[in-house]
Chain A
Amino acid sequence: MGTVFSFDVRGGDPGAVKAALEEAVAGLHRVNEVFSTYREDSQVSRLARGELSVGDCDPEVAEVLELAAEAERTSEGWFSTSYEGRLDPTGIVKGWAVERAARSLAAVGVSGVSVNGGGDVQMLGIPGPHRPWRVGVADPLRPGGLAAVVSAAGVEELAVATSGTAERGAHIVDPRTGRSAVTDLVAVTVVGPSLTWADCWATAAFAMGSRAGLRWLESLPDVEALLVTAGDEVRCTGGLAARLG
């Protein structure tokens, strides 16, 4: 399975930015090699088969598994890293990798960075003077249209993650049944400072459905969300309005 990553970097020394960008791209390829469950020879595939221990893997594997365990606890099991009884941290890897790439680029002294990995975005800084990053949220029921526009005005870090059925069909699994989640939702968009978490929370809330999902998202600090139901109803957390622009 492939996906597309786009980088938007503003300001900074061109040479330093180019080098950092090449490093970030190489890092994403490395993540794919280590974590892909589509590759029989990846460290995660070998770990899942018991051929390697966590200690044998790159240190990033332990880091991601710890984050995933925390996501599983916070979501009361709705976010899960096992699929059909097998280790599968795919659900957290992309958001984590995108956030890491964005932070590595920001570290070379730029005014703004936006990294979009397959529809999940981490933004840092600002794209230009007097202007915040602005993210369109794709309308799941009207291809090409937007359901909302989220602005990073007033914050240094903002992530926007969307989980749903619009692009890939039903692919989110209810960890309690091991089957495709039975949900009244077609998309959940989570807004928060960190894409690692925003991505996990969007996935978990999607599986929970609109009522439980919205209630749970409201309970999380620094998290706002927009939920779209199959009936084309839009529900959002109380503080989302402050992030729309």
Chain B
Amino acid sequence: MHPLKKNRPLRRIVLASATTVTGMVMLLALKPHEAPEASAAPAPAPSSAPSSGPTADSGGSGGSSTGTRTITGDSAQTIWGPVQVRITVEGGRLTDVTAIVYPQADPFETALNQSALPQLEEQALATQSADIDTVSGATYTSDGYRQSLQSALDSAGL
């Protein structure tokens, strides 16, 4: 329905290089004095990392309270798409929280439809209606992020 959508591969490539940054940042009061990582780099595609449960990569002494461990939370659904959080625990203390999967508005509509709003495809929506860049809705308080974070925290025994 617009000139960039199909049959213009060359133009799409030009657009791709002109497109600079798509990013997302989490602002949380969880760590008031230590801001969580704000990433400007594209995240992994949400569909690429469905998690069956929290996983821990032990970088230290497993369950002890002295080593360094990273634990990945469950993937949680939000209205924006799946969110998944990884935490780092050092000596029994939470030292880092990183969102490893989060919804990402893609420069290209087709990719947007596949990644950022997968659930929209399941709704009775016209294709035209899903051709959107972003969504407005009643205040979203990162419940998905919290769910994923909580599962990682639970798994770490914190």
Residues of A within 8 A of B (CB): 1-14, 17-18, 21-22, 25, 28-29, 32-33, 36, 38-39, 110-111, 114, 116, 118-121, 123, 127-131, 133-138, 140, 142-146, 149-150, 160-168, 171, 187, 189
Interface contact A136-B129, CB-CB below 8 Å: yes
In the assembled complex, which residues on chain B have CB atoms less than 8 Å from the CB atom of A120? 136, 139
Interface contact A39-B21, CB-CB below 8 Å: no
**Cα–Cα, bound, A97→B60 (Å):** 41
Query: Which residue of chain A has the shortest Cβ distance to B77 in the bound complex?
Result: A144
Question: Which of B102, B119, B128, B142 is in CB contact (< 8 Å) with A3?
Answer: B142
Stretch at the interface among B22-30, B51-59, B64-72, B86-94: B22-30
In the assembled complex, which residues on chain A have CB atoms less than 8 Å from the CB atom of B104? 6
A153 to chain B, nearest CB (A): 11
**Cα–Cα, bound, A4→B137 (Å):** 12
Consensus secondary structure, chain A interface:
mixed
A168 to chain B, nearest CB (A): 5
What are 7 A-B contacts with C-beta separation under 8 Å?
Answer: A6-B24, A7-B24, A135-B132, A137-B136, A138-B136, A146-B123, A146-B129
**Cα–Cα, bound, A13→B21 (Å):** 10
**Cα–Cα, bound, A186→B137 (Å):** 11
Interface contact A121-B134, CB-CB below 8 Å: yes
Residue B156 lies at the interface, judged by CB distance under 8 Å to chain A = no
Residue B3 lies at the interface, judged by CB distance under 8 Å to chain A = yes
B135 to chain A, nearest CB (A): 5
Residue B79 lies at the interface, judged by CB distance under 8 Å to chain A = yes
Interface contact B18-A146, CB-CB below 8 Å: no
**Cα–Cα, bound, A28→B143 (Å):** 19
Among B32, B38, B136, B145, which residue has the most Cβ atoms of chain A within 10 A? Answer: B136
A100 to chain B, nearest CB (A): 14
Interface contact A3-B27, CB-CB below 8 Å: yes
Interface contact A10-B20, CB-CB below 8 Å: yes
Residue B133 lies at the interface, judged by CB distance under 8 Å to chain A = yes
